[in-house]
Structure 1
Amino acid sequence: MKHVLLGAAAALMLTTANFAYADTIKLEPGKETNMVLLPKFLGILVFDQANEGAQEAHKELGNPGKLEFTGPTPENSTAGQIEIMTTAGTQKQGAVMLSNNAGDQIVPSAEAAQAAGTKVVTWDSPIPGGQGESVFVAQVDFGSIGTVMADMAHSILGGKGQMAVLSATPDASNQNAWIESMKAALAADPKYADIELVDVVYGDDQAEVSYNRALAL
C-alpha cells in the first residue's frame, strides 16, 4: 500500500514510496474509468466540497466514464460503506475513492473489489491495517497534527489544566491516529507535564449527540 501526502490541491502525485516524490504517475486525459466517491456518510459539508473538487478533476481529465458520489447514512455508516464497496466490486468499477469509517471491517469487501480489478483509493481516513487499499492520500501529516493539537491545548490552558477530546466516531481511523499522536506528544515533552487528558469521547458525527457529550464533559 502506498502513501501520498496531499501538499497542494493542484498537484496529486502517486509515488512508489512513502512521501518520496519520485516515479510520479503522470495522468493521461481522456481515459474512460467509472469511479465511486465514497465518503464516511452523506450530509456533511466537507464531503460535499470534496465531491465538488472530484467532479472538477473528473471534467478536467476529460474522463468519459461516470463519477458517482454515494454514501451511507450516519446511522448506518459502517455497514453501508461495506455494502457500497461490495457492490462496486461486483459492478467492476474502475476505482472506489473511500474515506473510511468502517475500520478494518471493510477489508474483506475492499480486497474482493481489488480482486475484481477495482482500484481502492483511500483519502482523509485510511484502512487502519492498510489491507485492501491501493494508495492512501493524506490531507495532513498525522504525526505533526498531534503536536499541533497538544500545543493548542497548552496555549488555551496556559500550560496547566485538564482537557478532553470530543471526536467523531470510534472507527474514524484518521481522527484516532491524530488522537494517538497527540497522546504521544503529551507524554514525550515535559512542557505538557501539568496538562491532564481526562477523557476521549465520541459524538458519532451527530450534532445532538456531540452537543450532549460536550455538556457531559
Structure 2
Amino acid sequence: MHKKIISILTVTALLFGATVMAHTIAKKGMRADLVLMPKFLGILVFDQANNGAQEAHKELGNPGKLEFLGPTPENSVAGQIEILTTATTQGQDGIMISNNAGDQIAPAAKAARAKGMTVVTWDSPIPSADGEQLFIAQVDFNETGMVMADMALSIIGPGGGEFAVLSATPDAANQNAWNASMKEQLKDPKYSKIKLVDLVYGDDQSEKSYNQALALVDKYPNLKLIMAPTT
C-alpha cells in the first residue's frame, strides 16, 4: 500500500510539473508519456513499485504511455544515463528514477530539464539534487541509520563485538545515506561495545554478495554480524 501511495504521488507530480502538496489531486485524463526507471531490472521491490505505478496510471486515466525501463545490474550506471538520455531525445514528458548512478546522472538530468522534461527521483536521489525537481523518500534516512545501529547492538548483544556492512553499490545514494547515518549513531557511547570493521559492496548481485560475505568472514575471524541493507 505504501509503495502504491508513493507511485500515485509521483505520477501526480509529473502531471502537474510541480511540488506535491498534501491536497494536490491530478486532473484525470491529462496526457503524459512517462518512464519509470529502477536502479536495474530483476529486483522484486522495483517490480512491485511498477505494479503500483501502473495501477495509478490507470486510475488517473492518462492516455499516454507509462514504460518501465531499467538497465541490467552489470551496466546500471551507464544504463541509467543512457535510458534518461534516450527518453529526453524521444520527448518524453517525465521520468521517475531510482538513482543508482550517484551524481554521474546529474548532467543528463539537467539536460532533460532543459528540454522541458519533469525529473522525479524516488527511493534513491541524486546526491547533489542537480536536475531533480522532486525526491520521494520511502523512509527517513537518518532514522534508518538509527535502526541499523540499534539492530546491530541488539543482535550482537551486551558483550559487544565486531560487525560489517554488506551494502549495495557505491553509487546508491539512499544506502550511502543510511550507512552514513549509522556511522554517526555509532559515535554514541551506548554503542561503545560494538565496532564496525568494514563496509563492502555486493552490487545487489547474489554471487558477488556471497563472495563478499565469505571474504569478510575470512578477514575478520571475530566477526559477529554481517548487516546487509540491500536486496
TM-score greater than 0.5 by the shorter chain: yes
The answer for the alignment partner of 1:120 in structure 2 is 119
The answer for the alignment partner of 2:185 in structure 1 is 185
Please show how residues 16-95 of structure 1 align to structure 2 within 5 Å.
24-95=23-94
- 1:89 positional shift: 1.0
AA aligned opposite 1:184: E
Tell me, yes or no, if the aligned pair for 1:124 and 1:138 is still in contact at 8 Å.
Answer: yes
AA aligned opposite 2:156: L
The answer for the alignment partner of 1:163 in structure 2 is 163
The answer for the alignment partner of 1:18 in structure 2 is none
- 1:22 positional shift: 5.4
CA distance in structure 1 between the aligned counterparts of 2:4 and 2:52, rounded to whole angstroms: 9
Question: Percent identity over the alignment?
Answer: 66
- 1:8 positional shift: 7.4
CA distance in structure 2 between the aligned counterparts of 1:115 and 1:41, rounded to whole angstroms: 25
AA aligned opposite 1:152: M
- 1:216 positional shift: 1.1
Q: Secondary structure at the match of 1:96?
A: strand
- 1:24 positional shift: 4.2
Name whichever structure is richer in helix by fraction: 2
What value does the CA root-mean-square deviation take over the aligned residues? 2.0
Tell me, yes or no, if the aligned pair for 1:92 and 1:113 is still in contact at 8 Å.
Answer: no
CA distance in structure 1 between the aligned counterparts of 2:151 and 2:52, rounded to whole angstroms: 30
- 1:7 positional shift: 6.7
Q: Secondary structure at the match of 1:75?
A: helix
AA aligned opposite 2:84: M
CA distance in structure 2 between the aligned counterparts of 1:115 and 1:46, rounded to whole angstroms: 31
The answer for the alignment partner of 2:129 in structure 1 is 130
The answer for the alignment partner of 2:104 in structure 1 is 105
Tell me, yes or no, if the aligned pair for 2:3 and 2:48 is still in contact at 8 Å.
Answer: no
- 1:23 positional shift: 6.5
- 1:34 positional shift: 0.2
- 1:25 positional shift: 2.8
CA distance in structure 2 between the aligned counterparts of 1:59 and 1:77, rounded to whole angstroms: 29
Q: Does residue 1:203 correspond to 2:185, yes or no?
A: no
Structure 2, gaps ≥5 residues long: 14-19, 217-231
Tell me, yes or no, if the aligned pair for 1:166 and 1:200 is still in contact at 8 Å.
Answer: yes
CA distance in structure 1 between the aligned counterparts of 2:102 and 2:164, rounded to whole angstroms: 23
Tell me, yes or no, if the aligned pair for 2:4 and 2:56 is still in contact at 8 Å.
Answer: no
Q: Secondary structure at the match of 1:63?
A: coil
CA distance in structure 2 between the aligned counterparts of 1:196 and 1:24, rounded to whole angstroms: 45
State TM-score, norm by structure 2.
0.85
- 1:113 positional shift: 0.5
- 1:26 positional shift: 2.2
Q: Secondary structure at the match of 1:150?
A: helix
State TM-score, norm by structure 1.
0.90
